[in-house]
Structure 1
């Protein structure tokens, strides 16, 4: 919404700057303070030198040149010319060269005299051109910096038209050089702010000053009807027609009207169109003008019939839908209601009889029509946000008066069909604003602010239906809070205000809405900032602390956290080769999914991680290390059916228990995906790719961060991992996830690099970490022993290490693999694993025999469990 400050100042007293003009900055701040979003304050570029209003006296067409050129004689006022004027006035005429052809003799134009400097540093001087002396320049809108049109020069009007500026007067005043334009972003819930009427009401409340409502004026008595109208559909609640006969539709709109429309971002077209647009911006009521001579029979508001079509004013032939509201005559639709008129009744140069229409339309119907036909318009923009139905009659009369004023003719009659419904009354306890906002509001302030919104406030002190208006005596502003005498508002013992919202605020439906308006107009900055006291408690749970610790540690290791959508589809699970009998295929289906191709709640984090990796690689990121911590959704096999609960009261505890039991299990998982280079190649070396060992390392790291020790067991049949490079991660014998490289077929199908690895662990499946205890350090010397074992090549080294630790007992302090060998001396199909053993007792120095006994016991268990043979 764009509006010049001068237009606002016509209806409300605005604060002024030092030079006495309204201060646009203060006006913008007031809008922001009232909750409107200020986009920009547009200012007219400065023009220095003489810029005057001139009259075209004579036009000489110069035809000897390649393009049409005019030599124009102008009357520019006494003291501005170089030759006497037609009335003998000295120094009031100049002659200039001009290439525009959109003006005639006796037109008033804007003339820049020699010495003037136009926007962009364009200096005007007398110069010899086209064999003539051009002593100035006639200006276009773009040259003046007040618009973008450059098809011709700016014509202010024609001699004989009313309200023309004096010849020789300063054109800067006419152009509004000191008239900034304020641009606001109006949210859908504040449709009333798409008008000068609504914005001036906001300013009146911001500055606590009265304003003049442009939509409230005494209506002329009309004994004759405007045009007969029938409302056949409830989508229109009120329809007003005013008929004007004898109109000169070719009459030019006055400059001030065209200029204000231009400032509001609307292009001037013709007098009837300009007048309806002007009244729309002023009052917020969109209107349409029909050529009465092209109408046949009565007008009807109805839904479009099957097969009906309408050629709209944008010259598009549109197939109408049965849901479209239309205005029709005896021949068929003549207007797409509330959106755009039809070409069959368009006003042309020969139009002399006009029917002005102002109506109230159903907002949802207009919104659907706009989107269905992809036909946004200024009228529809307002109807979609709601238009005050009470102003249709006065807006139509105002437009008719302007047409008669500038185009001649007379108003024949007016017809009004439909009614204005009163909005439901709201009961507002006087203590409700303080309860919801947290600061006291005197009753006088409450009543005053609601009155500024337009509400009618009454009270019923006796409780017997004897409502009386509430009178207030508001005091002065003190420290940001409006103070008043507590006794200034006497409610007669009643503690409830009866508030009737105005017709333009249908969004006010409950006490909370009224409280929001009070707080908004008082200023949100007047609400004290009080930090609430933290309730007593233990803070984060152990599970939350563990989850955060794991995330922080993975980020510290260089991984990037991602957050993927919790929705998956069957195709994504197919790409990961997860078979139909896999438990991860049992999922919860969303009734109304955001994406029809992803209707399932995820049972694993891998689809989201893989999708993120594929998308990032498509955008050029080759090396990725990602992690995600989030919930998965596992349906319960014995879950009861979810009960249908009502929203009008709190459900019973038993119903809530059943509802909770019907929900799927939602454990927190952590997932890691490693693709590309772990260490980049460079002058320092060839680099290194991520592999299965990195994935298992991160699995162990996650468990260590959670304070749990895990073990890994070779896994061969779990998708989507590689059957020979995957491990099951377990706490004791309980599996909590998997780590390793992804299957080559999966990587090829997804376009991920070879050796891409992944981890997925059930964080909630980890047991609680034991309380940390200080390690017992033996003061006695350790015994270091090495042992080399021959085992089958398929036996994991971790399994042998675990067997040695189990066999060594309490005296075996540590076991560490330090060498793996295959080759000479090692039979085919086997490998040599060398372990370093540390043997120590807490209470004595061990003898060599005792240490060897521990080693032999460890080797014996390894031989039993893993088939290990001591290498000679």
Structure 2
């Protein structure tokens, strides 16, 4: 909404400066997006009249003018000014910059000689005064402009232009009267509104009105005005107000409708009555109908579009724009002037559908005051009769069921709770009274009936907002929040997620965060999931399903890094996955486990002089995983996984529970996703990573340990992990630890066998071990290996 301050102050004139008024409106919810002067600064420019014009003796395009500047000349002698404007002529009234004047751009006017002829001033165009971007000649002023008057005063160039950025709910402020009503309520300054009286009816000419779509158009008023002079000039004051509100002057009849639109917020339209046939009808468009609008656009109308029509054809898009066939022209002598209320839902979105908008649709789709329909018609009629003459006929009106604004209850206690301020009932009553809101008081409660122009008042919170606005947001204190802080218990059996992430970062991994919705191909390739959870409204066509594994995102991250010439990549991600599970909670039918995944690619060590360039492999990542979950002992077993290499993948178990997988990416996916070499990766339940083992005290022996080596020959297919777990379970005191230190295949070892050498540490906390005890422990361990694993001592 754009308007001039001088126009607003004709309605309400508070004792505030332009900047103060701007701040007041902004803090009341009517944001002033821009405040700018009507004209740039200049001085000593007056209204002047050209008395005589003669050709310059030494220049074909210059003329020597005698100019009357009135009392400003002192002696009453006209000024001689050399001018090159093509439209300069005797009798013309134009702006004249006197010697000593300063024009926009810091341009100073001095007495000077132009081609040998003295020039004592300058006749100005609108461009030279900063009033227009372009000008073909001098700015021509009205014939009744008083000579010698300051141009700034005459044209009110010290005015300010306000541009409001209104929220959609404040359609009541899309007019000067609406803004004046707000300013009056905020400042307590009395407001004066246009004196609207019924126009005298001096002709019986009328046209019937029919509502065929009364829900979309519950009220339609119109009247015929005969004998109008469409060529009449729009008054300077009206044209100025329209232009400063962003509307150009077109013709007197059109300007009147635009003026009432800005003044009262009621869109109007004038039809050429001679072009209408039969009744004026508010109806829905019919299939196949078309309409050429005033903007030159020809539309094929849909059946859900409301139109104004006569008995033969559509005349206008209701509440949006008139049609060209029935438009008024300079030859029009009789008009049918309409003023109507259209339901917001019937107008909303229709203009945007046809790729344009209008001031009328902008208002109607937000809600126009249906109680002001007749007043706007009377106001426009009075202006037409004043400017264009003519005779007004009786108003024809058709009415359906107008919107109802049910009363809203406002509780004093609720106001205090929401705003944090204790308003008394009398204070709230005073604030509501300033807004002219009708109410009935019931104890400390108020039953408020929203007026017809307030479509935004529907619930109690809307009224509380009004109380806050009038009281002033600046006056609402902002106390610091008060709360009780308590240290939450930290379980010793769980470590913070941050610690898990830090452990991986310490080992050279970088965290990534990917979308939880992924490509369907990833689910099929990396999880063999042929029935993923689909999104009802994906943000992109390729991101249409929810992930059940983190592997796809990491492979995509690797591919992106390789395209950017990164040769060594270490990535990890923690996040939710989504699986179908009929018995899952808290979302029935869907399990949402937290997972942790990591990927390693490229050289095992960063580039350096001591780096042999070895590529990362399964055992490197296995070491990272074991370090991450230490001191817990993990078990690894052969696994077939859709994302991993068939012979280089393992199931990861912790305390007998499978927690994830680890391995090298499947060769098929290495080729499909264009990776030079296969990365290694793991994916485990995040819950396993955050588990922490409580430390257990063990006495440290003061006696020296006894170390013995034990070499056995076993079947080559026997898993070392099974052997170690069995030996540790069977080992008795004084055995404290045992570790594999050698594997041998070759001469001296039978075909199909392998030699395993273990280092066994024995120690007692109370005494030095006897040789017999040592031999007995070794004999028991050897017997266990022979009985359970068919192991033989190596010779």
Task: Give the TM bin, normalised by the shorter chain.
Answer: 0.7 to 0.9
1:517-560 alpha-carbon deviations (Å, 9 max, x no partner):
22333234515536354498957899997445545665777766
Q: Tell me whether 423-432 or 258-267 shows the greater mean CA deviation.
A: 258-267
Q: 1:635 aligns with which of 580, 586, 597?
A: 580
Q: 1:310 aligns with which of 291, 306, 324?
A: 291
The whole-number CA distance in structure 1 between the counterparts of 2:448 and 2:680 is: 66
Query: In 1, are the aligned partners of 2:82 and 2:117 still within 8 Å (CA)?
Result: no
CA 532–724 in structure 1, closer or farther in 2 if over 3 Å, else same: farther
Name the counterpart of 1:8. Answer: 8
Query: In 2, are the aligned partners of 1:195 and 1:283 still within 8 Å (CA)?
Result: yes
Query: In 1, are the aligned partners of 2:527 and 2:549 still within 8 Å (CA)?
Result: no
Query: In 2, are the aligned partners of 1:675 and 1:752 still within 8 Å (CA)?
Result: no
| Equivalent position SS for 2:47 | strand
- The 5 A counterparts of 1:144-543 are 144-145=129-130, 149-150=133-134, 152=136, 155=139, 157-159=141-143, 165-174=145-154, 176-213=156-193, 217-220=196-199, 222=201, 227-233=207-213, 234-418=215-399, 420-459=402-441, 494-525=443-474, 526=476, 529=479, 531-534=481-484, 538=488
| Equivalent position SS for 1:347 | coil
- The 5 A counterparts of 1:518-667 are 518-525=467-474, 526=476, 529=479, 531-534=481-484, 538=488, 546-547=496-497, 549-551=499-501, 564-568=514-518, 570-574=520-524, 576-579=525-528, 582=529, 585-590=530-535, 600-607=545-552, 627-637=572-582, 662-667=588-593
The whole-number CA distance in structure 2 between the counterparts of 1:105 and 1:611 is: 81
Q: 2:28 aligns with which of 31, 34, 39?
A: 34
Q: Tell me whether 810-819 or 740-749 shows the greater mean CA deviation.
A: 810-819
State the shift of 1:808 in Å: 5.6
The whole-number CA distance in structure 2 between the counterparts of 1:72 and 1:820 is: 115
1:29-73 alpha-carbon deviations (Å, 9 max, x no partner):
2233223444333345742342333456678899x99xx968595
Query: In 2, are the aligned partners of 1:680 and 1:688 still within 8 Å (CA)?
Result: no
The whole-number CA distance in structure 2 between the counterparts of 1:45 and 1:681 is: 68
In structure 2, list runs of 5 or more residues that go unmatched.
Answer: none
Query: In 1, are the aligned partners of 2:65 and 2:83 still within 8 Å (CA)?
Result: yes
Query: In 1, are the aligned partners of 2:523 and 2:548 still within 8 Å (CA)?
Result: no
| Equivalent position SS for 1:399 | helix
CA 205–688 in structure 1, closer or farther in 2 if over 3 Å, else same: farther
CA 495–49 in structure 1, closer or farther in 2 if over 3 Å, else same: closer
The whole-number CA distance in structure 1 between the counterparts of 2:219 and 2:312 is: 23
Larger C-alpha radius of gyration, 1 or 2? 2
Name the counterpart of 2:69. Answer: 77
The whole-number CA distance in structure 2 between the counterparts of 1:76 and 1:851 is: 131
The whole-number CA distance in structure 2 between the counterparts of 1:107 and 1:617 is: 77
The whole-number CA distance in structure 1 between the counterparts of 2:617 and 2:154 is: 77
Query: In 2, are the aligned partners of 1:51 and 1:116 still within 8 Å (CA)?
Result: yes
1:383-405 alpha-carbon deviations (Å, 9 max, x no partner):
22222222222223333433444
State the shift of 1:179 in Å: 3.1
| Equivalent position SS for 2:651 | strand
| Equivalent position SS for 1:28 | helix
The whole-number CA distance in structure 1 between the counterparts of 2:374 and 2:434 is: 23
Is 2:92 aligned against 1:97?
Answer: no
Query: In 2, are the aligned partners of 1:96 and 1:133 still within 8 Å (CA)?
Result: no
State the shift of 1:207 in Å: 2.7
Q: 1:23 aligns with which of 2, 18, 39?
A: 18
Q: Tell me whether 622-631 or 719-728 shows the greater mean CA deviation.
A: 622-631
The whole-number CA distance in structure 2 between the counterparts of 1:433 and 1:861 is: 82
Higher relative contact order (CA 8 A, sep 6+): 2
The whole-number CA distance in structure 2 between the counterparts of 1:55 and 1:682 is: 90
CA 260–819 in structure 1, closer or farther in 2 if over 3 Å, else same: farther
The TM-score with structure 1 as length reference comes to: 0.75
In structure 1, list runs of 5 or more residues that go unmatched.
Answer: 17-21, 460-490, 640-658
Name the counterpart of 1:732. Answer: 655
The whole-number CA distance in structure 1 between the counterparts of 2:480 and 2:234 is: 57
Query: In 2, are the aligned partners of 1:805 and 1:812 still within 8 Å (CA)?
Result: no
| Equivalent position SS for 1:300 | strand
Number of residue-to-residue matches in the alignment: 790
The whole-number CA distance in structure 1 between the counterparts of 2:259 and 2:786 is: 98
| Equivalent position SS for 1:344 | coil
The whole-number CA distance in structure 1 between the counterparts of 2:343 and 2:309 is: 17
Query: In 2, are the aligned partners of 1:739 and 1:758 still within 8 Å (CA)?
Result: yes
1:606-650 alpha-carbon deviations (Å, 9 max, x no partner):
4555566767888999987655443333333358xxxxxxxxxxx
State the shift of 1:235 in Å: 1.0
Q: 1:51 aligns with which of 29, 34, 45?
A: 45
The whole-number CA distance in structure 1 between the counterparts of 2:604 and 2:53 is: 81
| Equivalent position SS for 1:14 | coil
1:586-624 alpha-carbon deviations (Å, 9 max, x no partner):
544455666666554443344555566767888999987
Q: Tell me whether 529-538 or 406-415 shows the greater mean CA deviation.
A: 529-538
| Equivalent position SS for 1:719 | coil
State the shift of 1:79 in Å: 5.8
| Equivalent position SS for 1:98 | coil
The TM-score with structure 2 as length reference comes to: 0.82
1:171-214 alpha-carbon deviations (Å, 9 max, x no partner):
23455554333333222222223333333333333334333455
Q: Tell me whether 189-198 or 800-809 shows the greater mean CA deviation.
A: 800-809
Query: In 2, are the aligned partners of 1:543 and 1:764 still within 8 Å (CA)?
Result: no
| Equivalent position SS for 2:575 | strand
State the shift of 1:738 in Å: 2.8
State the shift of 1:729 in Å: 3.0
State the shift of 1:309 in Å: 1.3
CA 536–855 in structure 1, closer or farther in 2 if over 3 Å, else same: same
Query: In 2, are the aligned partners of 1:817 and 1:834 still within 8 Å (CA)?
Result: yes
Q: Tell me whether 674-683 or 520-529 shows the greater mean CA deviation.
A: 674-683
State the shift of 1:785 in Å: 7.1
RMSD of aligned C-alpha atoms? Answer: 4.9
CA 827–111 in structure 1, closer or farther in 2 if over 3 Å, else same: farther
| Equivalent position SS for 2:70 | coil
